[in-house]
Amino acid sequence: MNNVKVFVLLAGMTAIMGMLGQALGGQSGMLLALLAAGAMNFYMYFNSSTKVMKAYKAQTITREQAPELYGIVDKLRQRADLPMPTVGIAPQQQPNAFATGRNAEHAVVCVTQGLLDMMSEDELEGVLAHELGHIKNRDMLLQTISATLSGAVTVLARFGLYSPHQGEGRGSPLGPLLALLAPIVAMVLQFAISRSREFKADAVGAEISGKPLALASALNKMQQIAQRRPMDVPPSVAPIAQVNPLSGFRGLSGLFSTHPSTEKRIARLQAMAASNG
C-alpha cells in the first residue's frame, strides 16, 4: 500500500508538471516541460550523491579511519543482504544521518559527528539500520525524482510568471494562477513522499537491527537536539536526513513537514517491539 501511495503522488507531480506546461505554452509547452523533467531526473540520478555530500560538508572514510563505524555498517548490510555502501562522516554536531546514491551498488551512508558522539552502540545500530532500510527500499531514487520534479515545477512556474510572452494568448488564461499554485502543490506532494518513506525505513531498519526500541530512543534524542540546534544545510537536502535537521517547523497540519511526527514514529516502533515480545 505504501508503494502504491508513492506511485500516485509521483504521478500527481508529473501531471502538475504537464498541466503547467500546457497552460503556459499549449501542447508544445507540455511536451517541453515533461522532457525537461526527464532530463533533470537523468542528471540528478548520476550526480545526487555528490551534491548531497557537498551540502552536508561530508567526507567519505575508510575502514582504517573509523573501524567501529565501518564494522557496524558492514555487519548490518550483510543482514540486509546489501552491497557494502560507501561510508561518510559529516562534521555537524547535531546528531543525524542520511543515505544517498542512485542505487544499492552506488550507495552512501553518512552520519554526523554529533551522532557518533551522543549515541550508544545500540542506538547507532538502529540509526544505521534505518538508513540501510532506505537503500533496500530504493528510496534514494524516489527522493531524487520527487525533488527534481518539484524543482522543475518551480522553475517552470517562475518562467511562466516572468516570461515576456506571458499573456500573448499562446497558453491557457489559467496559466498565471497555475504558475502560482503549482509549486506549492508539488512541494506538498514531495514532502508527503518523504514522510511516507520514513515510516517504511523505520520498519525495515528495525527488522535489520532487531532493535526497534534503540531506534526509537535515537529518534527521540535526535529530534530534541534538532529543535534546539538547527543544522546549517540547504532546505533542499533536509528531507533525506533521518530527522528534520532544520528548525522542526511542521507547517499547516503537517502538510509542509519533510518528516512524519517523531512521536508517531516512536509509537510505531514501540508497537513493533511489543508485537515481537
Sign of the C-alpha dihedral, residues 78, 239, 32, 10? positive
Cell of 120: 550508544
- Cβ(116)–Cβ(89) under 8 Å? yes
Q: Write the Ramachandran bin of 237: left for phi over 0, alpha for psi from -120 to 50, otherwise beta.
A: alpha
Cell of 136: 533496500
φ, ψ of residue 108 to 5 degrees: the values are -130, 130
- Give which of 121, 269, 122 is closest to 203, Cα–Cα: 269
| Cα–Cα separations (whole angstroms), residue 45 to 1, 84, 103 | 25, 20, 9
- Cβ(180)–Cβ(109) under 8 Å? no
Active-site pick, 123, 125, 131, 198: 131
Cell of 36: 525537461
- Give which of 204, 211, 201, 199 is closest to 263, Cα–Cα: 199
Active site annotation includes 64: no
Element (H, E) at 224: helix 212-228
The residues assigned a catalytic role are 131
